[in-house]
Amino acid sequence: MITLSLPPIPTLILCIFVLFVGIYVNQRLKLLGNSNIPPSVTGGILFSVLTAALYFIGGVQLLFDMQVRDFLLLVFFSTIGLAAKLSILSSGGRALVKLVAVAAVFLILQDIIGVAIAVFYGVHPGYGLMAGSISLAGGHGTAIAWGAEAEAAGLYEAGTIGITFATFGLVAGGIIGAPIAKWLIEKNQLSPNLIEATEPHDIETATVDVEQDPWDLSAILTVIVLLALCVQLGELANQLLFKRNILLPGFLTAMFAGIVLTNAADRLKLPVSHSAIAKFGEVSLSLFLGISLMSLQLWSLASNFTPIIIALLLQTLTMTLFAIYIVFKVMGRDYDAAVISAGFAGLGLGATPVAIANMDSTTGRYGPSPKAFLIVPLVGAFFIDILNASTIKLCLSLMGNW
C-alpha cells in the first residue's frame, strides 16, 4: 500500500478544484441541481469514489491535512451564531414557538430511533446518534463536526457514517416533502388564505435594518473581526469550562460567542452586514464540506451497508408520519400547516434549502403561504443547530459520553 499525504495548502487548492467539478456536474445534471444537492457534496463524493478506486485498484491511499478544515468549521458555526438576531427571531410569533417545540421533540425521537437501531445491532450507541439528529437534522456540517469528536473518543469511522446519513437524508427530505403536502392538502380540501397572503409577512420584511453593501471593505473587515472574536472567545470559554470538567466542542462555543456578539451589536446599533456574514458562511461551509467529503474512506462502509439502509428507511418513515400526524396538527391543520409540514420534512432530514424547495414546489401548485416561508427558514437558520446541540449533549450525558 502506497500512502500519499497532502499538506494544508495543497489540500485547500485541491478542494477548490473539487468544488468547481461539483458546480459543473450540478449544472449538467438537473436532477442534482433541482434536489438542492450542494456542489461540495457532489464534487466531494465523486472525488472520494475516485480515491476508493485508487485504493482498491492501485493500492494508493490519499491522506489530507485537516488543519484548514478544522478552522473552517469554527468559522462556519460562528456565522450561524452571528446570524441569530433576537429582533428577527421575535417576528415569528406563536407559530414559531410551536414549530421550535415540535422540532425539539422530533430531534429527541430521531436520536431514540438511531440509538435503538445501534443497540439492536450490538454496536456502541454513539453510532446511533450519528444515524439520528447529528447527521439528519444537523446535516453535513454537524455530522462532520460531531463525527470528529466521536472518532477522537474511539468510534471508528463515525464521521464517514455520519456523512453517509447526511447525504442520503438530504435526498430523502427532498423526495417526501412535496408528496406529504399534496396528500394533506387534497385529503383535507385545503386552500391558501388569500387575504393573509397579501399581507407583508415575507421574511425579508422581518428585518428593518438598512443592509450594508456586503462587498464594502469596512463591512468585510467588520465581519472578519467578528469571526476572529468568535473563534477566540470560543476557545477561551472552552479553556474555562475545561477547568470545571465541562467538555464542549469548539464549534459550539464559537457559535454561542457569535450569538452574544451579534445581539450586543444589535443593541448598540452597530452596523453589521448580514449579507457578508451569510457569504462567509457559504464559502466556509462549502470548503469545509469539500475537504471532508473528498477525504472519505468509502471502503470502510462495506460491512455496515445493511444497518445503514435499515436506519435510513426507518428514519424516513418516522419523518413522514411525524410531519403528517404531529406537525400538521400542532401547526393548525390548515393550508399553511400543510406547507409547513413539507418544509419540516426537508428540514428534519436534510437542510433549510431542501425545506424551502419543498415549500416552493407546493405553493407553486396550490398557492402562496407567507407564514410557512417566514417561520420554517427561521427555525432552520437559527434554532435547529442550537436545539440539536442541546439534544446531543443530553443524549451523551445519559450515555456516559462517547
CA angle centred on 84, ends 170 and 338, rounded to 5°: 45
Residue 73 and residue 232: Cα distance in Å, rounded? 14
> How confident is residue 20, by pLDDT bands cut at 50, 70 and 90?
very high
First to last CA, the chain: 32
Give the three cell numbers for residue 18: 473539487
Q: Is the per-residue pLDDT at 24 higher than 90?
A: yes
Give me the percent of the chain exceeding a pLDDT of 90.
33
DSSP H or E stretch at residue 10:
helix 8-28
Cβ atoms of 372 and 359 closer than 8 Å: yes
> How confident is residue 301, by pLDDT bands cut at 50, 70 and 90?
low
Instruction: Write down the pLDDT at residue 91.
Output: 62
Residues written for the chain: 402
Instruction: Write down the pLDDT at residue 206.
Output: 41
* Average pLDDT of span 147-157: 86
* Average pLDDT of span 172-180: 85
Cβ atoms of 79 and 287 closer than 8 Å: no
Q: Is the per-residue pLDDT at 214 higher than 90?
A: no
Residue 206 and residue 95: Cα distance in Å, rounded? 15
- What Cα–Cα distance (Å) separates residue 90 from each residue in 206, 304, 375? 9, 44, 10
Structural domain count, the chain = 1
Residue 383 and residue 185: Cα distance in Å, rounded? 27
pLDDT tens by residue, 242-277:
888 776 778 778 988 998 999 999 888 888 888 889
Q: Taking the CA of residue 87 as centre, how many other CA atoms within 13 Å lie in the half-sphere pointing to its CB? A: 15
Q: What is the DSSP string of 212-280?
A: PPTT-HHHHHHHHHHHHHHHHHHHHHHHHHHHTT----HHHHHHHHHHHHHHHHHHTT----HHHHHHH
Give the three cell numbers for residue 319: 419523518
Give 6's strand partners.
Answer: 64
Instruction: Write down the pLDDT at residue 36.
Output: 58
pLDDT tens by residue, 326-371:
999 999 999 999 999 999 998 999 777 778 878 887 888 888 888 8
One-letter identity of residue 163: I
Grid cell 462532520 is found at 144
Instruction: Write down the pLDDT at residue 248.
Output: 72
Instruction: Write down the pLDDT at residue 348.
Output: 92
Q: What is the dihedral of CA 394, 285, 143, 57, to 10 degrees?
A: -160
Q: Is the per-residue pLDDT at 185 higher than 90?
A: yes
Collect all residues with Cβ–Cβ distance below 8 Å to 137 and sequence separation of at least 6.
103, 106, 107, 110, 347, 348, 349, 384, 388
> How confident is residue 211, by pLDDT bands cut at 50, 70 and 90?
low
Structural domain containing residue 12? 2-399
Mean pLDDT is lowest, of 27-36, 179-188, 258-267, for 27-36
Q: Is the per-residue pLDDT at 12 higher than 90?
A: yes
Would the pTM of this model clear 0.75, i.e. be above it? Answer: no
> How confident is residue 210, by pLDDT bands cut at 50, 70 and 90?
very low
Q: How many CB atoms lie within 10 A of CB 3?
A: 9
Residue 11 and residue 269: Cα distance in Å, rounded? 40
Q: Please state, rounded to an integer, the average pLDDT across all residues of the chain.
A: 84
Q: Is the per-residue pLDDT at 38 higher than 90?
A: no
Burial (CB < 10 A; 0-12, 13-18, 19+), residue 257, is buried
Instruction: Write down the pLDDT at residue 34.
Output: 65
